[in-house]
């Protein structure tokens, strides 16, 4: 199984020395994100996030199915991540690497366990029928900071998604196609975002946001903080690595809050733009009785 | 301790009678397994964990994937395997080896120990740590880390300092910005299910954080209090572990070391 | 992920020859001075896990260690189409089934009387084996590894062989106990772990208690909250609430027996297994005395129990594995592959001929007579199996 090429000793020394002098390889500030772009697809529920050279695509789909036996009042919500060799030669299909396991666990904790999506609203007939929402995450290109990009893509896709409308008369459940009835958005409670901090130096005293792949390979430890714009932390994960002063981590948390609010405004803005775009030529226009003449 | 019907505010005592900064009953033993290089048994309240260490030994899997640390292949590999017994929780539940939650635990412990142990002294070798969870009652990751530290010391693998861990929680709910909310230390299972909590591992008695894991929703402003409480508790745990090691060392010196092959009786408190 | 590998014990030809020769003497001379039927000392304790219905931990002298925890849950019996109404018998013996920690509230019918009563809650065989679930965890091996699965099968087969055990789990027509046995090997598998796991399971079963049943007939089972009122699944002799004749059934044990030449040797260490001619795993159970109270009270607890053979399985001892460093010319497993004409034509002959003072790996099978003798030796009255069962019975239940 091929491994990622490790940075050479020269590269390693150069990058670390530059960081100690306050310089980053691509000239960014230590707490600056790369160019972040968020695009929505034509179908509802497709979100494409570009973070520098990292590109992630999230796709949401829904189907009606039976709920879990031990949770008859909840719908089913799953996030699947599969890293394919398209993103990096180190990834193999069906062989989860450590990166993949961590990514899927982080998304699970950030989006699923924090109840960003109200699963009770997905229930149709208790114990028999419910919606199963499935988010498929595809990593198209890996240049560092998969986690932040993936989380944003997942949240954006879920907020963008519209599921078919349903109605229940007595025992029969009717699911309407988009042509019959306008699809409805999901019941969304809060929007969590992940921010990854990378640490460098003997004591982990240098802190970077949004590391590129090269910077990721050279870091001595990392901390991923997920929170929403209200300042609620959904999860923190500093999984080993060089020990870092507790004070630094507290500072990270407040930095994360600022960044999270920025991401939240960005997402709201993009969603508004997209719905305006759809409205212009979309179904809503057709539904109206006005015509152009 | 339920949030709504909490009696905490009345007497400032938790359900099991502890105050906010009291740890549960700690019990630790080392050299419990005669045939292993290092072994330990740790109880934090009702959480019971056994650890067996073998190594450093010859690395048979070289050339394949290795944890991409900055040190590359000039350091020993720390391979951790966690087995949670089916009978460890109140309901019997079999957990497969491929469970992602368990894999995450393994990765966390492995990375934390790799930065603490002097792995550069053993290039091209593997240190295998095998953890068995016999009973779970909260603070699982913390107990696993503490037990690993004990077993590694028993195996004689050099390290910078004790790697100790503890959990800390908060009595506030995630939405409230409650300044009166108290941090709590060393949560049991019931408290973990109802309150936000985090697990923190520090390097000995310093304030350097090696591991910080929080999986529940909590206000940012509560974070500092929880971390400070956890750091204090970790100091207490470090003193306890140190005492366990020193007592055993004293016994070994006065009574003579026990050879491999002789049967050993350890007391596991019921 | 932890790479604990089974190490092939590396013994030199001189050591192998020495072991084989000394073990073939009459009487056999063992490296640690034991007799052929003497067991090594072991440490055993029960009741180590208060969260389980029964638990035990056994450490062998060579450092191997195992822990077993047993939990029970009430489960609804799927109807098998058998008229259970006929199976009510007047209770001569108090055989009450108990349940897990007292949160459950299930009514349980009368425990049926056991002990030779054929009609007492007859279950379909499939129902029986389903009520007991055994899992084995060996460090370093996957769950679906053939070695692990084989061990679990052997252990559960011994337990369910006589069909009596599953009857203890019957509550009433609608409910039964589902018993989960989780066996964990703590040390790495240095030597064949079967006897250790079997003894630990045996002890854990002896220590297992189920809550006392309070409800009647076929109602939803209801149990006594008081754990002190719970009763052992294998009732102990001298208990107030068991009459003499139900005591006497014990869980089975599996012993490892090996043969070298004409000698039969028990509790072999891994060095001794390396020169074994053949090895067997013999599962032995105990039957009760005569049916329905005809057992003389004085007879109980005597050394002679009614031992019953439950299963015999052959084990491949390490002596039959090819040791590392053997060239293909003399490695029987490689003969016939490829057109390698032995550079040394005498090699093949050297491999198969008997040479005085040199140990060669055993070829072919074991004689039936030897196998028969091994099994008979295990079942001997007052012999090894008896001693082991006595010893385990004497362990204080925590």
pLDDT tens-digit map of B68-81: 443 456 788 899 99
CA distances from A140 to A52, A58, A88, A216, A217 (A): 13, 10, 9, 18, 19
Q: How far apart are CA B102 and CA B109, in angstroms?
A: 11
Which of B111, B114, B209 is nearest residue A244 as measured by Cβ atoms?
B209
Highest mean pLDDT: which range of A216-220, B141-145, C305-309, C390-394: B141-145
Query: Considering only CA atoms, which of C253, C173, C290, C164 is closest in space to residue C221?
Result: C173
pLDDT above 70 covers what percent of chain C? 70
In this complex, do C61 and B262 lie within 8 Å of one another by their Cβ atoms?
yes
Q: What is the pLDDT of residue A98?
A: 83
In this complex, do B270 and C48 lie within 8 Å of one another by their Cβ atoms?
yes
In this complex, do B130 and C49 lie within 8 Å of one another by their Cβ atoms?
no
Which of B68, B107, B223 is nearest residue A6 as measured by Cβ atoms?
B68
Q: What is the pLDDT of residue A284?
A: 53
- Which position has the higher pLDDT, B182 or A255? A255
Ordered by start, the domain boundaries in chain C are: 2-104+124-324+359-393
Question: Is pLDDT above 50 for C103?
Answer: no
How confident is the prediction for chain A on average, in pLDDT? 87
Q: What is the pLDDT of residue C347?
A: 62
B35 contacts: CB under 8 Å, gap ≥ 6: B260, B261, C62, C63, C64, C65, C187, C188, C190
Place of tokens 């993936």: A150
Closest approach of A178 to chain B, Cα-based (Å): 36
> Would you list the DSSP string of chain A?
-PPPPPPPHHHHHHHHHHHHTT--TTS--TT----EEEEE-SSTTEEEEEETTEEEEEEEEEEEEPPPTT-TT--EEEEEEE--TTT-TT-BTTB--HHHHHHHHHHIIIIITTT-B-GGGGEEETTTEEEEEEEEEEEEE-SS-HHHHHHHHHHHHHHH-EEPPEEEETTEEEE--TTTS--EE--B----EEEEEEEESTTS-EEEES--HHHHHH-SEEEEEEE-TTSEEEEEEEEEEEEEEHHHHHHHHHHHHHHHHHHHHHHHHHHHHHHHHHHHHSHHHHHSS----
- In the numeric block, which tokens belong to residue A136? 């498929």
Q: What is the pLDDT of residues B115-173, one digit of tens each?
A: 999 999 998 899 999 999 999 999 999 999 999 999 999 999 999 999 999 999 988 65
For chain A, the first-to-last Cα distance in angstroms comes to: 64
Q: Which residue of C has its CA nearest to B78?
A: C2
Contact assessment for residue B186 and residue B25, using Cβ atoms and an 8 Å cutoff: no
Please report residues of B whose CB lies closer than 8 A to that of A196.
none
Q: Which residue of B has its CA nearest to A239?
A: B108
Question: Is pLDDT above 90 for B202?
Answer: yes
Q: What is the pLDDT of residue C99?
A: 36
Closest approach of A47 to chain B, Cα-based (Å): 26
pLDDT above 90 covers what percent of chain C? 10
Q: Which residue of B has its CA nearest to C66?
A: B33
Give C106's pLDDT tier (boundaries 50, 70, 90). very low
In this complex, do C180 and B87 lie within 8 Å of one another by their Cβ atoms?
yes
Q: What is the pLDDT of residues C194-234, one digit of tens each?
A: 889 999 999 999 999 998 888 877 788 888 888 888 888 88
Query: Exposed/middle/buried for A75, CB within 10 Å: 0-12, 13-18, 19+?
Result: buried
In the predicted model, what is the mean pLDDT of residues C143-162? 84
Q: What is the pLDDT of residue B98?
A: 74
Please report residues of A whose CB lies closer than 8 A to that of B174.
232
> Can chain A be said to touch chain B, i.e. do they have 3 or more Cβ pairs within 8 angstroms?
yes
C2-104+124-324+359-393 belongs to CATH 3.40.50.300: no
Question: Is pLDDT above 90 for C108?
Answer: no
pLDDT above 70 covers what percent of chain A? 95
Q: How far apart are CA B248 and CA A73, in angstroms?
A: 54
Which of B52, B81, B90 is nearest residue C187 as measured by Cβ atoms?
B52
Q: What is the pLDDT of residues A199-238, one digit of tens each?
A: 998 888 899 999 999 999 999 999 999 999 888 999 999 9
> Can chain A be said to touch chain C, i.e. do they have 3 or more Cβ pairs within 8 angstroms?
no
> Domain A19-279: which CATH class?
alpha beta
Q: What is the pLDDT of residue B33?
A: 84
What are chain B's partners, defined as 3 or more CB pairs within 8 angstroms?
A: A, C
Question: Is pLDDT above 80 for C162?
Answer: no
Q: How far apart are CA A235 and CA B212, in angstroms?
A: 10
Q: What is the pLDDT of residue B6?
A: 61
Asked if the C-beta of B81 comes within 8 angstroms of chain C's C-beta atoms, the answer is yes
How confident is the prediction for chain B on average, in pLDDT? 84
Which of B67, B104, B214 is nearest residue A101 as measured by Cβ atoms?
B104
Q: Which residue of B has its CA nearest to A16?
A: B70
What 3-state class would DSSP assign to B117?
strand
In this complex, do A246 and B227 lie within 8 Å of one another by their Cβ atoms?
yes
Which of B211, B223, B228 is nearest residue A238 as measured by Cβ atoms?
B211
Query: Exposed/middle/buried for A21, CB within 10 Å: 0-12, 13-18, 19+?
Result: exposed
> Can chain B be said to touch chain C, i.e. do they have 3 or more Cβ pairs within 8 angstroms?
yes
Question: Is pLDDT above 60 for A55?
Answer: yes
What are chain C's partners, defined as 3 or more CB pairs within 8 angstroms?
A: B
Question: Is pLDDT above 60 for C112?
Answer: no
Please report residues of B whose CB lies closer than 8 A to that of A235.
213-216
Q: What is the pLDDT of residue A256?
A: 92
Query: Considering only CA atoms, which of A18, A11, A1 is closest in space to residue A218?
Result: A11
Closest approach of C55 to chain B, Cα-based (Å): 10
Q: What is the pLDDT of residues B91-117, one digit of tens each?
A: 888 887 778 889 899 999 999 999 999
| All domains of chain B in start order, with CATH | 15-254 (3.30.230.70)
- In the numeric block, which tokens belong to residue C319? 């002596």
Asked if the C-beta of B66 comes within 8 angstroms of chain C's C-beta atoms, the answer is no
Q: How far apart are CA A242 and CA A224, in angstroms?
A: 15
What 3-state class would DSSP assign to C186?
coil
Asked if the C-beta of C149 comes within 8 angstroms of chain B's C-beta atoms, the answer is no
In this complex, do B87 and C55 lie within 8 Å of one another by their Cβ atoms?
yes
Asked if the C-beta of A268 comes within 8 angstroms of chain B's C-beta atoms, the answer is no
User: Which of B177-191, C139-153, C236-250 has the least mean pLDDT?
Assistant: C236-250
Please report residues of C whose CB lies closer than 8 A to that of B128.
2-4
pLDDT above 70 covers what percent of chain B? 82
Query: Considering only CA atoms, which of C277, C267, C188 is closest in space to residue C3?
Result: C188
In this complex, do B52 and C188 lie within 8 Å of one another by their Cβ atoms?
yes
């Amino acid at each position: 199984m091929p491994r990622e090429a490790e940075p050479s000793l020269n590269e390693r020394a150069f990058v670390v020395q530059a960081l100690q002098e306050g310089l980053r390889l691509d000239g960014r500030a230590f707490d600056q994100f790369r160019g972040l772009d968020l695009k929505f697809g034509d179908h509802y529920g497709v979100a494409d996030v570009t973070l520098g050279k990292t590109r992630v695509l999230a796709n949401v789909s829904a189907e009606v199915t039976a709920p879990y036996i031990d949770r008859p009042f909840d719908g089913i919500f799953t996030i699947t991540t599969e890293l394919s060799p398209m993103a990096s030669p180190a990834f193999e299909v069906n062989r989860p690497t450590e990166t993949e396991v961590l990514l899927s666990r982080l998304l699970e904790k950030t989006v699923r366990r924090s109840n960003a999506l109200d699963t009770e609203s997905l229930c149709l007939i208790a114990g028999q029928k419910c919606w199963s929402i499935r988010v498929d995450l595809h990593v198209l290109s890996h240049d560092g900071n998969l986690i932040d990009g993936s989380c944003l893509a997942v949240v954006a896709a879920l907020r963008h998604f519209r599921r078919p409308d349903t109605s229940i008369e007595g025992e029969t459940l009717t699911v309407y196609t988009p042509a019959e009835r306008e699809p409805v958005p999901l019941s969304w409670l809060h929007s969590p975002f992940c921010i990854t901090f990378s640490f460098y130096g003997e004591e982990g005293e240098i802190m970077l946001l949004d590391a590129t792949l090269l910077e990721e390979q050279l870091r001595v430890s990392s901390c991923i903080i997920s929170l929403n714009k209200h300042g609620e932390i959904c999860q923190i994960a500093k999984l080993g690595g060089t020990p870092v002063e507790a004070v630094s981590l507290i500072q990270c948390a407040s930095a994360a809050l600022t960044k999270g609010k920025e991401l939240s405004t960005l997402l709201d803005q993009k969603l508004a733009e997209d719905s305006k775009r759809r409205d212009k030529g979309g179904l809503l226009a057709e539904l109206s009785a006005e015509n152009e003449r | 301790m339920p949030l709504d019907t909490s009696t905490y505010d009345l007497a400032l005592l938790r359900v099991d009678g502890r105050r906010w900064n009291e740890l549960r009953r700690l019990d630790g033993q080392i050299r419990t397994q005669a045939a292993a290089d290092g072994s330990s048994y740790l109880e934090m309240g009702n959480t019971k964990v056994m650890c067996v260490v073998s190594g450093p030994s010859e690395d048979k899997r070289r050339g394949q994937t290795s944890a991409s640390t900055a040190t590359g292949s000039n350091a020993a590999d720390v391979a951790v395997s966690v087995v949670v017994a089916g009978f460890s929780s109140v309901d019997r539940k079999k957990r497969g080896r491929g469970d992602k939650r368990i894999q995450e635990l393994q990765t966390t412990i492995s990375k934390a120990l790799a930065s603490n142990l002097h792995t550069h002294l053993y290039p091209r070798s593997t240190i295998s740590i095998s953890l068995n969870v016999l009973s779970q009652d909260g603070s699982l990751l913390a107990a696993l880390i503490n037990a690993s530290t004990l077993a590694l010391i028993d195996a004689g693998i050099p390290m910078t300092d004790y790697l100790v861990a503890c959990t800390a929680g908060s009595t506030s709910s995630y939405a409230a910005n409650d300044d009166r909310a108290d941090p709590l230390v060393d949560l049991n299972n019931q408290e973990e299910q109802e309150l936000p909590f985090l697990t923190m591992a520090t390097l000995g008695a310093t304030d350097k954080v090696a591991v910080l894991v929080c999986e529940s929703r909590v206000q940012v402003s509560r974070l500092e209090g929880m971390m400070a409480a956890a750091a204090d508790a970790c100091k207490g745990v470090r003193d306890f572990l140190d005492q366990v090691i020193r007592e055993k060392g004293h016994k070994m010196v006065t009574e003579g070391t026990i050879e491999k092959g002789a049967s050993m009786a350890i007391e596991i408190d019921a | 992920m932890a790479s604990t590998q089974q190490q092939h014990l590396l013994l030199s030809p001189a050591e192998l020859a020495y072991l084989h020769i000394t073990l073939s003497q009459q009487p056999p001379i063992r490296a640690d001075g034991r007799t052929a039927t003497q067991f090594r000392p072991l440490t055993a304790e029960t009741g180590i896990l208060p969260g389980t219905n029964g638990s035990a931990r056994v450490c062998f002298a060579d450092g191997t260690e195992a822990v077993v925890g047993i939990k029970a849950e009430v489960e609804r019996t799927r109807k098998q189409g058998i008229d259970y109404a006929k199976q009510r018998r007047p209770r001569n013996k108090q055989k009450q089934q108990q349940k897990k920690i007292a949160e459950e509230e299930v009514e349980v019918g009368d425990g049926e009387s056991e002990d030779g009563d054929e009609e007492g809650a007859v279950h379909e065989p499939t129902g029986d084996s389903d009520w007991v679930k055994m899992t084995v965890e060996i460090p370093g091996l996957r769950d679906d590894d053939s070695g692990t699965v084989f061990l679990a099968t052997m252990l559960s087969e011994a337990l369910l062989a006589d069909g009596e055990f599953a009857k203890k789990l019957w509550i009433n027509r609608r409910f039964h106990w589902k018993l989960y046995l989780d066996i964990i090997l703590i040390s790495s598998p240095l030597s064949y772990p079967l006897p250790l796991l079997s003894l630990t399971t045996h002890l854990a079963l002896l220590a297992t208690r189920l809550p006392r049943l309070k409800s009647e007939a076929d109602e939803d089972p209801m149990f006594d909250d008081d754990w002190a009122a719970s009763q052992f699944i294998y009732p102990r002799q001298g208990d107030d609430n068991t009459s003499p004749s139900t005591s006497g059934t014990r869980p089975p044990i599996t012993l490892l027996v090996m043969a070298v030449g004409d000698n039969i040797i028990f509790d072999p260490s891994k060095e001794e297994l390396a020169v074994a001619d053949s090895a067997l795993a013999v599962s032995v159970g105990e039957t009760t005395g005569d049916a329905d109270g005809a057992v003389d009270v004085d007879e109980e607890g005597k050394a002679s129990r009614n031992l019953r053979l439950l299963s015999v399985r052959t084990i491949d001892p390490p002596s039959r594995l090819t040791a590392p460093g053997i060239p293909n010319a003399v490695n029987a497993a490689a003969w016939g592959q490829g057109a390698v004409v032995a550079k040394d034509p005498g090699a093949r002959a050297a491999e198969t001929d008997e040479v005085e003072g040199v140990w060669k790996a055993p070829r072919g099978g074991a004689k039936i007579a030897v196998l028969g003798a091994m099994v008979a030796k295990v079942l001997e009255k007052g012999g090894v199996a008896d001693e082991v069962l006595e010893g385990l019975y004497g362990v204080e239940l925590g």
